[in-house]
Structure 1
Amino acid sequence: MSWRTAAQATLHCLTGCAIGEVLGMVIGTAAGLSAGATVALAVALAFFFGYALTMRGVLRAGLSFREALRVALAADTVSILVMEIVDNAVMVGVPGAMEAGLANWLFWAALAFALAVAFVLTVPVNRWLIARGRGHAVVHAHHHH
């Protein structure tokens, strides 16, 4: 099990998480939601988009919607959970970032930094999962279905 495979799996996860995270942070900040409500929205959207991207690939491989959902849940839940805990902890931990507003560089710099830290800390988790036939390894079993 290589670090490269783990990094690729994490990058796949990061794509869905980042779409949801950025969208949630933008909507929450623009709407003037509290930091807690903004984080909750960002996390919900990160899970939605993370699962959706995985499901898209396995649906193309011929799995039913129900089977694709099971694969996505098995493949991505731990990775997305770790990524969301880390990136939201960093985002909330950067002084003033949540209150900075969309036009402020601090908001965007903190969000980019949070996603980068989440990526780095999630790669070893994905490596551990894939080495045990879990996580993103579940998806690879269906690529040639």
Structure 2
Amino acid sequence: MHTDHTHHAHPSHPHAGPDQGGSPAGRGSWATVSWRTAAQATLHCLTGCAIGEVLGMVIGTALGWSTAPTVALAVALAFVFGYALTMRGVLRAGLPFRAALKVALAADTVSITVMEVVDNAVMVSVPGAMEAGLASALFWLSLAAAFAVAFVVTLPVNRWLMGRGLGHAVVHAHH
């Protein structure tokens, strides 16, 4: 017997409706999350990642570091800024710091990881991009292309996670 749960809110996600992927069982279908909602979550993730990535790339490049330490710094800062953006919102909603950190870790870890793997793979695969320097169009165009590819790859991942009450769907319970 088929039961359609796509139009019910998940009890732990009071704002979750069909657009947020809520279901009585807590595991909605990925199809219940709109591409628009997933894109908003992915853009949120991309914003934090981009701030950290750019800062890390700028610092590493300005200091003349090789690719490996520059990428490591960029990835570390992407996680810091990605989590910080999520925490900012849930802290404003009244959660204590420790709880906000748990929400950020649950909401963003997979998304940031996918985004970082993809955008850094693209960036290091463009010949000369990492060595081009901050004044080079090659550096900035490669970084922009890397972010665009990372967004496209991470979008369906976020939609799938949100459809199961995971990833950025965790944040919706605190808005």
TM-score scaled to structure 1, two decimals? Answer: 0.98
User: Secondary structure, in 3 states, of the residue corresponding to 2:128?
Assistant: coil
- Structure having the higher Rg: 2
Distance in structure 2 (CA, Å) of the matches to 1:65 and 1:34: 36
Distance in structure 2 (CA, Å) of the matches to 1:131 and 1:4: 13
Residue equivalent to 1:76: 108
Report the CA distance between 1:69 and its aligned residue: 0.0
For 1:17-57, what per-residue CA distance to the aligned partner results, in whole angstroms no more than 9, with x for missing partners? 00000000000000011100000000000000000000000
Distance in structure 2 (CA, Å) of the matches to 1:133 and 1:70: 15
1:130 aligns with 2:172: no
Aligned length, in residue pairs: 143
Q: Tell me the amino acid that sits aligned with residue 172 of structure 2.
A: H
Q: Tell me the amino acid that sits aligned with residue 47 of structure 1.
A: F
1:62 aligns with 2:94: yes
Residue equivalent to 2:52: 20
For 1:82-117, what per-residue CA distance to the aligned partner results, in whole angstroms no more than 9, with x for missing partners? 000000000000000000000111000000000010
Report the CA distance between 1:9 and its aligned residue: 0.2
Distance in structure 2 (CA, Å) of the matches to 1:36 and 1:124: 28
For 1:1-23, what per-residue CA distance to the aligned partner results, in whole angstroms no more than 9, with x for missing partners? 11111100000000000000000
Distance in structure 2 (CA, Å) of the matches to 1:121 and 1:91: 15
Distance in structure 2 (CA, Å) of the matches to 1:41 and 1:33: 10
- Aligned 1:93-112 pairs, distance under 5 A: 93-112=125-144
The gaps in structure 2 that reach 5 residues or longer are 1-32
Distance in structure 1 (CA, Å) of the matches to 2:39 and 2:156: 8
Q: Tell me the amino acid that sits aligned with residue 73 of structure 2.
A: L
4+ runs of 1 displaced by more than 3 Å? none
Match of 2:70 among 38, 43, 59: 38
Q: Tell me the amino acid that sits aligned with residue 105 of structure 1.
A: A
Distance in structure 1 (CA, Å) of the matches to 2:80 and 2:65: 20
1:117 aligns with 2:149: yes
Q: Tell me the amino acid that sits aligned with residue 6 of structure 1.
A: A
1:6 aligns with 2:32: no
The Cα RMSD (Å) is: 0.3
User: Secondary structure, in 3 states, of the residue corresponding to 1:90?
Assistant: helix
Distance in structure 1 (CA, Å) of the matches to 2:134 and 2:105: 32
